[in-house]
Amino acid sequence: MLVNTKELLVNAQKNKKAVGAFNCPSLEAIRATIKAGESLNCPIILQHAQSHDPIMEMEEMLPIYMYYAKRASVPVSVHLDHGSTFEKCIMAIRMGVSSIMYDASAKDFETNIEETKYITEIAHAAGVSVEAELGHVGSFASSDEGGGKDDEGIYTNPESAYEFVQRTGVDFLAISFGTTHGVYLTEPKLDIERVKTIKEKIGIPLVMHGGSGVSEEDYIKSIKNGISKINYYTYMNCAGGEGIHEYIKKNPNNMAFDKMSLYATDKMEEDVKRAMSIFDC
């Protein structure tokens, strides 16, 4: 069933759980995620990241997300992830998404507020909830970006987060506290106390970006202290690729793509189920 993302996250926040938000730029990823959620009876957020347009454009993917969301036996919301332009956000709203993320986190604080407030007013008028980001979640953990470096220019400041939420009216906020997008090159060192402080200050559900590769212990600590939405893609995607590699090794004389596709889907489902079982605590 298709539901509003804010409803999912408010309920998750109340019960100290998190909802997995899975980027699915392929039919295999969508099917793996839906099957995992239905198997575990867990709610799901299907996301299309604007950065994945070169793989499959948003206009192609969102109707497929809607199709699977509406016929799923568990609550499913459809979300635009890292929307970086007004045009893409408005297009997603018109296509019926449950929520959008407008990402102006790379811009200065006042510009981020001004632009986010504007798109939030439009989205709310259409019954669509809004995520924004404050701070900077890097691309890869390394010695000079992410992975625990306590740089106030990168990490989300609790006082700034409070002002940002009050002035923009967003429904949930992605914060920077030590996670990064992509494959971790070093073990992430998460500032859980920062999560707790921000949660106590602003009250709304918080979002972890760069959720792949975080330890089970850190997932649980983050969720207990305020994270209600966890973005997950890289490790699920790698599980699919590793599945194809495994299939080829086992079946060197049968290179049928449909067989590889099904094998990869099963491997992604296994990885998503593992993540969901942790997020549901």
**Residues recognised as catalytic:** 81
Please answer whether residues 115 and 130 qualify as being in contact, where contact means their C-beta atoms are separated by less than 8 angstroms. no
Using the CB atoms, write b or e for 80-110: b if 16+ within 10 Å. bbbbeeeebbbbbbebbbbbbbbbbbeeeee
Amino acid letter, residue 208: M
Residues 6+ apart with CB under 8 A from 257: none
Q: Which two tokens stand for residue 94?
A: 């018109």
CA distance 173 to 236: 23
Using the CB atoms, write b or e for 126-157: b if 16+ within 10 Å. eebbbbbbbbbbbeebeeeebbeeeeeebbbb
Distances (CA, A) of 238 to 12, 49, 127: 27, 17, 35
Length of the chain (residues): 281
Which residues are bridge partners to 231 per DSSP? 21
Residues 6+ apart with CB under 8 A from 148: 178, 188, 189, 190, 191
